Structure 1
Amino acid sequence: MTDLDSLYKAIEKVTGKQRITREPEELVCHSFDATGRSVVPDIVVFPAATLEVSKILEIASSYKVCVTPRGSGSGMTGGTLPMGGGIVMAMGRMNRILEIDTENLIARVEPGVVTGDLHRAVEQRGLFYPPDPASASFCTIGGNIGECAGGPKAVKYGVTRDYVLGLEAVLPSGRIIHTGVKTAKGVAGYDLTRLIVGSEGTLAVVTAVTLRLIPLPEAVKTMAVVFDSIKKAAETVSGIIRESVVPRCVEFLDRASIDCVRKDVKLDLPGTVEAILIIEVDGSRETVEVDARKVEAYCHKQGASAVVVAGTPEEAAELWKARKALSPAMFKIAPNKINEDIVVPINRIPDMVAKIESIKKSSGLTVVSFGHAGDGNIHCNIMYDKRDKDQLKRAEAAVDALFDATLSLGGTITGEHGVGITKKPYLLKEVGPTEIEIMRGIKQVFDPGNLLNPGKIF
C-alpha cells in the first residue's frame, strides 16, 4: 500500500507547499470533466516548469503511483478522470506564450495556454492559428493536443495535429524528450510528435509545444441559410464544395437544435424551418465576395427558404450566437445527455442524417444534432433522464445504433472528443484486435508500469 504521506512530502520538496494539496475541496474540483462523472484523486499538484514535471513523474514512478495530466477539464469522454487514483497533475500554471516568430510563422507555448488567448495573441501580429474548439475561451493547448481537437474551421484548415511541429514532453519515468522540428519539413525517424498528439495523455506529459501559424485571412463573410427540409440542407453541404468553394466553416443545426435556441436567434424563422447552415468563407476581400455570392446562389438553387448574410462583425456574432448557446440550452429538453461526435464522409451526410432520424424514432428520445457538417463531423446529443432506467436503456441502445450506422457509412465513432472511458466499450467496433495489440505495445514502450492516465482508450 502506498505511503501517501511520504509521497506527498517528497513532491512538496519539488513544488513547495503552495502548489500541492490534499484539501478535500481541491480534490473534488479536480475530479471531474464535462462528462459530469467524478473520480477523486489522492493528491493534486500544480507544476510550473518542465523540470518539476520531470521530478514529480520520477517520484510517482518510484512509488508506483498513477498520474493523470489535466488541463481545464473540458473534455467530453472522461480523459482527465484519475481512474487509477493517485495524482492529478494540473498544468494550468504552465501558461506562458514563449515565442511568436513572425518570420518563421511559428509559436512556442506551454500546455496551460488557453486556446482563445493564443488566437488573440497571434492575430495581433497578423497571424492565424485555425484550430478553434467550441470551448476555446477556456480549454488549453495541452488538452487540445491530448484530444487532437478540431472545431468549425477544420473543413478548410484541418485540426490540431496539422499545426503541431514539435513537442517537449516528459515520459512517465521522468525522462524529458524532444520531438519534431521547427521547420516546415522534417522526416528524421518515426513521427513521435503525431503519435503523442491525440494520445489522450497516456504516453507523455507535454510541457512545451511548437505550433505552425499561417497568415491571417484578410476578410471573412458569414451567412445563415435556412431550409424547410433537413435532407436539402444535408445535400447542400457537399454540394457547396463541388462548386469550387471551400468554406472555412459549414455548421449544421437540426430542428431540435433550432427549437432549443429559437428565442436567442434574431432571425425571422418560419415555423416550418427544419435546418440551418451557418457558413463562412474567408480569404482576400475580392475572393470572399466572389465565394459568398457563389455559396448564396447555390443555396437558393438547393431550395433554401432564406439566406441571411452578415454585413458587420457584430451581425456575424449574432448569427453564431445560436450555435454557441446550444450546449446549455439542450438541458431544457432533459436533465441528461450523451454527446457523441461521429464523422462520416461528406457525401454520406444525407444518409447519416436519415439514419439519425430513424434512431430518434425507434428510441422515442429527443436527439439533437448539430456540428461541423463541412467535414462530416456531426454532434449527436441523445437526451434522457438517467433516473429513469428505461430511458437510460434506450439511450444506450441509441448510442450503439448510432455507431453501427456511422461505421456502415465509412465513418468513425469520434472525430474530436477522443475515446477516454466513455467510448472504450465501442472501440472494437471500429479498430481491429491486431491494431489494438499494436496500440497496447506502444503504451508499454512509453509507460511500462501503466502509471500515466491509466484506464483510457483500451
Structure 2
Amino acid sequence: MITSIDLLGERLQKALGDRATTDPDRMGAYVRDQSLLTAAGRPAALVKAKTVDDVVAVMTVAHELSVPVVTRGAGTGLAGAANALDGCIVLSVAGMDRILEIDPAARTATVEPGVINGDLAEAAAQQGLWYVPDPGSRAISSIGGNLATNAGGICCAKYGVTGDHVAALTAVLADGRVIRTGARTRKNVAGLDLTHLLVGSEGTLAVIVEATMRLRTAPTAATTVVAFFDSAESAIDAVLAVSAVAEPCQMELMDDVTIGAVNRLTRMGLDESAGAMLLIQCDGRSAAAEAADCAAACESAGAREVFHTDDPVEGEEFTAARRMALPALEALGTVLLDDVAVPVPALPSMLGCIREAADRHGVTIGTFGHAADGNLHPTIVFDAAESGAQDRARGAFDDIVAGALALGGTISGEHGIGVLKAPYMADMVGQTERQLMLAVKAAFDPKSILNPGRGI
C-alpha cells in the first residue's frame, strides 16, 4: 500500500531528482535552527533548492497534497521559525546563493536568498559601496533569513533594519505562483506595499527567492568611543545625553556579566569591575567632532573611563568584542536568548526588570544590545543538566517579556516570533489585530501550509 509519505516522496523526486529526499538520516541537520529550547518535529521530506523552478515545484506539490512547508536558509534563527513540523517538507534555499547583479549606478544588489550577509557586504565594498544591515550573525546568516525576520544589527538606530534597505522581491506563493513586489525606483506608492508585508513574515506568506537590496556610499571616516560606567543606569543616562548632541551609527551596551564573559574569552583587557560599557561609533565627515561630543556626554553622565580612537583597526577590534557577546555567554553554559525592545527612556526600568528576574529565578543573565534604539538581548545562562534549571530559565524569560510589554515595548525587536514567542502574540498585538494578520495570511496561503503556527 502506498502511504502519503511515499506519495509525497515520489512526487518530489519525480520533479526534483536527488535534490529531494525522504531519508531521515539526511534530514537531521535541517530539523531546527539555533533556538535549542523550542520544539521541533519530524519532517517527511527535505528539498535543497537550487533554482526558482525548484521552489515552484515544491510548492505546487505541497499545495496539491496539503503538506506544510517550512522554509529555511542558513539556520541561524533564534526563535524556532525554521524548526521542522511533523510531516512537513523542509525547503532549504541555502543553495540559492548567487549574487546576481551589483549595479553601482543604481546602488542596488540583486541576490538569491541563500547569499550570506557578510559576502554581500564584501562584494559591495569591492564596488566602493556599503551594504548596511549588520546583524551579529552577519558572517553566517543569509539575506533570505534576514528578510524573513527583518533582522537588525548595530547600525539600526541611524540606518535602519533590513526592511529599510529592500527595494524589490520575487517570491513563490503557497500554490506555486511567482509574484514580484516593489520597484528599483526610490519612490513607489503604487498599491499596497506587499514588499514590506513579506519582510518579517517568517516564511508564513511566501517563499522569497530573489531580493533587490539598496546599497549606500561607504562612510568617509569613523571614530569610536568606548566608555565604562559604575552602573548600567549611568550608561543609559549617557545614552540619553549622547542622543541629544549626536547621531552615532552605533551605540552598543554591555552589562557587567557580559563584559566579564567577553574579556575572559577575548583577553582584551576590558574593565571587568565596571557595571556597564558603551561602544559608540560616529561616521561621516563630522565623525571626529561628533565623537568628541559623545565622549563629553559620557563624562557628564559619570563615566569612570572614556577612550576614543580614529584608528579603524582599533575601532573594529572594539566592535568585534561587542559581536562576541553571545559566544562569550554561551561559553558559560546553556543560554536562552531573549530579544525585547522598549522606548529608550524606559531602558533603566527594563534593566531593573531583568535583574529582578535573575534574582527571582536564580539564574545568571548577561545583557547586551542596541542601546540607541532600546533593543536589548538579555541572555539567560543556566546549567541544562541541573534539575529544574530549564524551568527557572523559562520563568525568567517570561518575566522579561512581561516587563517589556508593561513598559510599552515589544516582545521582539529583530529576532522574530517563531515558536519561541508565539504564546505572547495576542498580548502584544491584540486579538482583533491578530485576526487581521491571520486574514492576510489566508489571502496569501488559503490552505495554511506555509510555516503554520509561527510568526503570527
TM range (shorter): over 0.9
Amino acid at match of 2:294: V
Moved over 6 A (4+): none
Amino acid at match of 2:227: V
Distance in 2 between the 1:264 and 1:332 partners?
8
Match of 2:450 in 1: 452
Q: Secondary structure at the match of 1:401?
A: helix
The answer to whether the 8 A contact 1:223-1:308 is kept is yes
**Residue 76 of structure 1, aligned match among 60, 75, 78:** 78
Match of 1:296 in 2: 295
Q: Secondary structure at the match of 2:326?
A: helix
Q: Secondary structure at the match of 1:430?
A: helix
Aligned pairs, number: 453
**Residue 348 of structure 1, aligned match among 333, 346, 349:** 346
Are 1:395 and 2:393 matched, yes or no? yes
Distance in 2 between the 1:269 and 1:122 partners?
33
Are 1:281 and 2:282 matched, yes or no? yes
Distance in 2 between the 1:121 and 1:136 partners?
14
1:31-68 deviations in Å (ceiling 9; x for gaps) = 11111254332211122221221122101111211111
Per-residue deviation, 1:311? 4.2
The answer to whether the 8 A contact 1:234-1:353 is kept is no
Distance in 1 between the 2:269 and 2:177 partners?
59
Deviates more, 1:399-408 or 1:167-176: 399-408
Amino acid at match of 2:405: L
Per the normalisation by structure 2, the TM-score is 0.95
Deviates more, 1:188-197 or 1:401-410: 401-410
1:158-201 deviations in Å (ceiling 9; x for gaps) = 00111111111000100111111110111111111111100000
Distance in 1 between the 2:141 and 2:259 partners?
26
The answer to whether the 8 A contact 1:35-1:77 is kept is yes
Match of 1:7 in 2: 8
Q: Secondary structure at the match of 1:16?
A: helix
Match of 1:219 in 2: 221
Query: Which consecutive unaligned segments of at least 5 residues does structure 1 have?
Result: none
Per-residue deviation, 1:389? 4.5
The answer to whether the 8 A contact 1:2-1:63 is kept is no
Q: Secondary structure at the match of 1:419?
A: coil
Distance in 1 between the 2:30 and 2:204 partners?
18
Per the normalisation by structure 1, the TM-score is 0.95
Distance in 1 between the 2:102 and 2:384 partners?
47
Quick one: structure 1 residues 181 and 271, their matched pair in 2 at CA, closer, same or farther if it must change by over 3 Å? closer
Match of 2:30 in 1: 30
Match of 1:377 in 2: 375
Are 1:246 and 2:247 matched, yes or no? yes
Amino acid at match of 1:16: G
Deviates more, 1:246-255 or 1:386-395: 386-395
The answer to whether the 8 A contact 2:154-2:251 is kept is yes
Distance in 1 between the 2:260 and 2:59 partners?
49
Quick one: structure 1 residues 29 and 327, their matched pair in 2 at CA, closer, same or farther if it must change by over 3 Å? same
Match of 1:441 in 2: 439
Distance in 2 between the 1:42 and 1:172 partners?
18
Match of 2:360 in 1: 362
The answer to whether the 8 A contact 2:256-2:273 is kept is no
Distance in 2 between the 1:406 and 1:4 partners?
43
Match of 1:262 in 2: 263
Are 1:158 and 2:156 matched, yes or no? no
The answer to whether the 8 A contact 2:136-2:323 is kept is yes
Amino acid at match of 2:437: M
Distance in 2 between the 1:272 and 1:418 partners?
34
RMSD between superposed Cα atoms in Å: 1.7
Distance in 1 between the 2:133 and 2:289 partners?
25
Deviates more, 1:264-273 or 1:409-418: 264-273
